[in-house]
Amino acid sequence: MESKHAIDALAALAQETRLAIFRLLIRTGAEGMSAGAIATTLGVTPATLSFHLKELTRAGLVTPRTAARFIYYSANYEGMAALMTYLTENCCRGMPGECIGPMELP
Number of structural domains in the chain:
1
* Structure confidence by residue, pLDDT tens digits, 50-91: 999 999 999 999 999 998 899 999 999 999 989 988 888 777
Query: Residue 64 carries which DSSP code?
Result: E
What confidence score (pLDDT) does residue 98 get? 65
What confidence score (pLDDT) does residue 96 get? 58
pLDDT category, 35, cuts 50, 70, 90? very high
Distance CA 104, CA 41 (A): 28
Q: Which domain holds residue 7?
A: 3-87
CATH number at residue 43: 1.10.10.10
- Report yes or no on 95 lying in a domain: no
The answer to whether residues 41 and 24 touch, using CB atoms and an 8 Å cutoff, is yes
Question: DSSP strand E in 1-106: where?
Answer: 33-34, 62-67, 70-75
Q: What phi and psi, each to the nearest 5 degrees, are found at residue 103? A: -85, 135
What confidence score (pLDDT) does residue 63 get? 95
- Report yes or no on 98 lying in a domain: no
